[in-house]
Structure 1
Amino acid sequence: MSEKNHERKRTARERLAAEREKQKAAEKRRRALIVGASVVCVLGLAAVIGLAAANAGKDKGSKASGPATAPSGAQGKDGLAIPVGKDGAKSTLIVWEDFRCPACKAFETAYRPTLHELADSGRLRIEYHLVRLIDGNLGGTGSLRAGNAAACAQDAGKFRDFHDVLYDNQPEETNDAFGDNAKLIELAGKVGGLDTAAFRACVDKGTHDGWVDKSNAAFKSSGFTGTPTVLLNGKNIYQDQSMTPAKLKQLVQQADKG
């Protein structure tokens, strides 16, 4: 074999090896996307802690007042959980979330079809706990206002549909668009039968503001460090770096059979 041909084959092998490494890295990034997304809001906390301190007291509307009025059907300790699915399901998924949190949206985007399927089949009961981590990090009231509106939707029996609409229309993390009640009422129009006088009054009055704040306080005292925090039958599934919607479904199915 000539030196020229040998060099050509060696170069081709090197290119092939480099391409394989590139593909491996891309696949690794893809697998880590959902799990890695869970720390986005935690990293945001570290990045903006100085900003939050500097802005302390500037946003006088950022703290809710009034009684912690739980929405209809709320369950769990202190009535802080909004349940979706059948009470008799053998598996329970607890989700702590913030409607302004981009990592929460990433989780929703990847897992929503599976969660809907498992809940609708009676195999999984989901407990949603609403917090306002981003309000505390970046200022504003979008997390609070959206949480209150979602609780108002729960009063109307439309929580899951409105919950999904909020994530489908989530603004940029630094954009406090959800702090505008009119925007939330506009989005309610995407859910059949939700935009009623009762819903609008609940949103505008902040009927469940105190409840959202109470849930947020429970989150802070729990020792959890970021949203979303997702627990399957008491185990934080984000500690499993190999977790996928398919694996979650398998775990739930196994528990259902057991």
Structure 2
Amino acid sequence: MSEKNRDGNRSARERLQQQREREKAREKQRRVLIVSAAVVGVLGLAAVVGVIAANSGGEDSSDKAGPVVDPAGAIAGDRPAIPTGRPDAPSTLQIWEDFRCPACQQFEGAFRDTIHALEAAGALKAEYHLATLIDGNLGGSGSLRAANAAACAQDAGKFTAYHDVLYTNQPPETDDAYAKNDKLIELAGKVPGLDTPAFRSCVEDGTHDGWVKKSNDAFKKSEFNGTPSVLLNGESIFPQKGSEQISPDNLKKWVAEANKGKKPGTASPAAGSPTR
């Protein structure tokens, strides 16, 4: 074989190898896009579910709530909330949720660990606003009862852990299991030290029902279309911020951008925040 032919064969093999590498790269990119689209689709569906739920109307179980009794350390005012994280953290995440809302469960499942890590690093504090729109849409009182129980957990300094347990064990949207105080007390057993006589009494008496109603009234008067509604420093980020879709990595990036040049929070975490 001549030198010219050998060079030609080598060039052909090199071109074939390069083509295969390009095809592999395209296939890898395609798989990444498919996975990314799946994540976006789940979160997008969650947003749609929330919008539908918010616009359905109906009588709300919290309409018959009693006097307003704020949970320990709660944020007062027209938009009551339960704070978590370090109070002096430079950024604030406002989360409007309903414990019966499946879209909220999807959000929590995707972002819980990221939020906890940002809180632990002093980069972010959160404010949880509790709504009861599913009770009004589907009937029942599980949204109200669960929100009251979460406020009772806040009194015990264990809001975050119990909040996470409620979402991890959330029943189907049409199953009003959280309307049963016994179920809520049973789940409290998953949080060390929470199932006490004081907690049980708070749950069974509906101590914070009026506070939950006040929070839900604020939700109904707001500009939000459904739950979850999530804002970073007052700017909506669910399901997206500007042209970027929300994701754990993007949430970290957005917080980092907002905190540029600012010191992380060092104050003791709010009662009920995770400790690490």
Superposition TM-score tier, normalisation by shorter sequence: 0.7 to 0.9
2:248 & 2:205 partners in 1: Cα distance? 38
2:129 & 2:196 partners in 1: Cα distance? 24
1:30 & 1:222 partners in 2: Cα distance? 28
| 1:251 paired residue number | 254
| 2:45 paired residue number | 36
TM-fit CA distance, 1:76: 4.5
Question: Contact 2:53–2:226 (CA<8 Å) still a contact in 1?
Answer: no
TM-fit CA distance, 1:169: 0.4
TM-fit CA distance, 1:121: 1.2
Report 1:180-191 matches (<5 A).
Answer: 180-191=180-191
Deviations 1:11-38 (A, max 9, x none): xxxxx9xxx7x96566423323224312
TM-fit CA distance, 1:253: 1.9
Give, as a single letter, the amino acid of the residue that structure 2 aligns with 1:254.
E
1:76 & 1:127 partners in 2: Cα distance? 11
| 1:242 paired residue number | 245
TM-fit CA distance, 1:78: 4.1
1:117 & 1:45 partners in 2: Cα distance? 30
Query: 61-70 or 198-207: which moved more?
Result: 61-70
Deviations 1:89-118 (A, max 9, x none): 110000000000000000000000100000
Whether 1:151 and 2:175 are equivalent positions in the alignment is: no
1:222 & 1:79 partners in 2: Cα distance? 9
| 1:71 paired residue number | 71
Tell me the percent identity: 57
Moved over 6 A (4+): none
| 2:196 paired residue number | 196
Q: Which has the higher helix share?
A: 1
TM-fit CA distance, 1:75: 1.2
Secondary structure of 2:128's partner? Answer: strand
Number of aligned residue pairs: 232
CA RMSD of aligned residues (A): 2.3
Give, as a single letter, the amino acid of the residue that structure 2 aligns with 1:31.
V
Going from structure 1 to structure 2, the CA distance change for 1:26 and 1:123 (only over 3 Å counts) comes to closer
TM-score, scaled relative to structure 2: 0.78
Query: 33-42 or 156-165: which moved more?
Result: 33-42
| 1:9 paired residue number | none
Give, as a single letter, the amino acid of the residue that structure 2 aligns with 1:37.
A
| 2:96 paired residue number | 96
Question: Contact 1:70–1:79 (CA<8 Å) still a contact in 2?
Answer: no
Deviations 1:227-256 (A, max 9, x none): 000000111002435221111111112222
Q: Which stretches in structure 2 are left out of the alignment for 5+ residues?
A: 1-22, 262-276
Question: Contact 1:35–1:243 (CA<8 Å) still a contact in 2?
Answer: no
1:143 & 1:211 partners in 2: Cα distance? 13
| 1:174 paired residue number | 174
2:260 & 2:149 partners in 1: Cα distance? 37
Q: Which stretches in structure 1 are left out of the alignment for 5+ residues?
A: 1-15
Secondary structure of 1:89's partner? Answer: coil
Give, as a single letter, the amino acid of the residue that structure 1 aligns with 2:94.
I
Going from structure 1 to structure 2, the CA distance change for 1:41 and 1:68 (only over 3 Å counts) comes to same
